[in-house]
């Protein structure tokens, strides 16, 4: 009687436990997300009741609205709004059944009136479920630190690092002679649930001897950090781009007027906004550096927003970051509850975190940034920029390529948030782009920059010099 080779016997004996473990994991995930479906449907009615009591003009949720109705109604403001905002784009049989049952039991009482009742020309914040501390509403009072301000004009909070004299040796007196040429400008755009601190607390601080002759701007995107967080804004790609234009297009920066030009550096979600900004101002952009860009194949653009949601917020329990993304992206009301507990009480959590860690200087900027937004701004930005913006990227990339703007992409090989394949797809779309993929071994979505700030600054400067070089010089260094 023939016997299986030892390797085959081992493979056969371990195959069924792996399949069983996979099936158990899938079943557990299905059960967890089914519970979240029920919770989200119940919370829909809870928040409708509370908003109706606590707000004069409640902002209606997306459970009972249809994307098709908005488009058929001729709502031009609905352009660039992602279908994933609506329950139909995040369909769940369990959730639909609960909502159908509750609608017939409770009726339409408690449902908030349409958000069109909110005057679109007047930004409003905070809502009752948002934080109203001095830091979170500073944008309503005029100019803020770093030129951020806000008020009705909607100017973003901007951190500016002016050019500094070069200092080779910390023990020697700094030279009083600054660079003789006009400094070049660079705009840094952060990613989702982050802020200008991602750049200002890292690259700006660690690169004084590298980027000393550049003027650096790090913006807090609309709805994040110390920038305005209006409760009646859709936070589309165009809204973010226009906010950057308002904030950097007027004195003292004036980057969008006259002969102003700049380099662009963006991380994660910020890459989508940076490409849209570059496509709108192709003659002003000198180079683009994309760090962990969320880009998907052009053949998937028919349902680009749904593809992005399924890829970046897949319904899985592991890793924890992916589970958190799924909860905050698929469940409007569960996500709002998380923000009510965490973001509205961020000062308490920061104090507890400092007490637990024994750090009296304050919490790490990455922890602080996770709470410096509202649910409305994060929810809409997630769907209208990360998901809805996926359908715009090919058009913007074509405009960038036509303008001959130098582009490079940097990606961590161990990135579990944005798949490293996204940069490979980008390379296929822009075959002449200077691309660094899989070079950043043992680097993930954040550590592709954090922990190697000086190296990253040196890479930026080398690319900026290369992008500003003459065509003959570029050909000589094309292989670097």
Active-site residue set: 190, 268, 415, 445
Instruction: Please confirm whether the linkage preceding 126 is cis (ω < 30° from 0).
Output: yes
Q: Which residues pair with 265 in a beta bridge?
A: 188, 289
Q: What does the block give as tokens for 366?
A: 């990455």
Q: What is the DSSP letter of 286?
A: E
Long-range contacts, stretch 321-327, CB < 8 angstroms, 24+ apart? 321/416, 321/417, 322/416, 322/417, 325/417, 326/33, 327/36
The Cα–Cα gap between 193 and 416 comes to: 16
374 and 231 Cβ atoms separated by less than 8 Å: yes
Residues contacting residue 282 through CB under 8 Å, at least 6 positions apart: 399, 400, 402, 403, 405
Q: Which residues pair with 436 in a beta bridge?
A: 410
The Cα–Cα gap between 355 and 91 comes to: 42
The Cα–Cα gap between 369 and 350 comes to: 11
Q: Which residues pair with 187 in a beta bridge?
A: 217, 264
Q: Which residues pair with 219 in a beta bridge?
A: 158, 189
The Cα–Cα gap between 318 and 410 comes to: 25
96 and 39 Cβ atoms separated by less than 8 Å: no
Q: What does the block give as tokens for 60?
A: 């209606």
């Amino acid at each position: 009687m023939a016997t299986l080779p030892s390797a085959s016997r081992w493979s056969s004996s371990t195959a069924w436990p792996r399949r069983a473990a996979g099936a158990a994991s899938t079943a557990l995930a299905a059960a967890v997300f089914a519970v979240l479906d029920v919770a989200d449907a119940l919370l829909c009615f809870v928040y409708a009741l509370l908003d109706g009591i606590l707000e004069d003009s409640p902002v209606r949720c997306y459970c009972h609205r249809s994307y098709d109705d908005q488009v058929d109604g001729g709502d031009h403001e609905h352009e660039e709004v992602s279908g994933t905002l609506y329950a139909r784009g995040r369909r769940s049989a369990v959730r639909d059944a609960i909502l159908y049952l509750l609608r017939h039991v409770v009726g339409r009482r408690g449902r908030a009136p349409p958000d069109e009742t909110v005057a679109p020309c007047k930004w409003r914040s905070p809502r009752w479920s948002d934080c109203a501390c001095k830091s979170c509403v500073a944008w309503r009072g005029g100019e803020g630190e770093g030129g951020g301000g806000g008020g009705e004009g909607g100017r973003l909070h901007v951190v500016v690092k002016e050019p500094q004299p070069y200092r080779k040796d910390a023990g020697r007196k700094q030279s009083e002679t600054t660079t003789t040429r006009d400094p070049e400008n660079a705009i840094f755009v952060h990613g989702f649930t982050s802020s200008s601190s991602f750049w200002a607390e890292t690259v700006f601080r660690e690169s004084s001897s590298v980027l000393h002759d550049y003027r650096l701007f790090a913006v807090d995107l609309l709805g994040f950090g110390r920038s305005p967080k209006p409760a009646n804004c859709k936070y589309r790609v165009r809204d973010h781009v226009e906010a950057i234009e308002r904030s950097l297009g007027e004195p003292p920066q004036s980057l969008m007027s006259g002969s102003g030009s700049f380099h662009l550096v963006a991380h994660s979600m910020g890459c989508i906004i940076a490409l849209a900004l570059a496509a709108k101002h192709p003659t002003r952009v000198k180079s683009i550096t994309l760090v962990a860009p969320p880009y998907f194949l052009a053949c998937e653009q028919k349902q680009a927003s749904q593809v992005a949601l399924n890829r970046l917020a897949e319904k899985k329990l592991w890793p924890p970051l992916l589970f958190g993304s799924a909860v905050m992206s698929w469940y409007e009301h569960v996500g709002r509850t998380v923000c009510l507990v965490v973001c509205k009480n961020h000062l308490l959590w920061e104090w507890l975190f400092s007490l637990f860690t024994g750090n009296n200087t304050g919490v790490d900027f990455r922890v602080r940034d996770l709470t410096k937004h509202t649910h409305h701004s994060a929810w809409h930005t997630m769907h209208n920029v990360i998901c809805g913006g996926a359908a715009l990227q090919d058009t913007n990339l074509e405009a960038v390529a036509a303008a001959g703007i130098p582009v490079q992409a940097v990606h961590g090989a161990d990135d579990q948030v944005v798949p490293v394949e996204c940069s490979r797809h980008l390379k296929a779309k822009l075959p002449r782009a200077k691309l660094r993929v899989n070079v950043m071994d043992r680097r993930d979505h954040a550590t592709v920059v954090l922990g190697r700030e000086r190296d990253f600054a040196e890479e930026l400067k080398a690319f900026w010099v290369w992008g500003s070089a003459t065509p003959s010089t570029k050909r000589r260094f094309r292989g670097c």
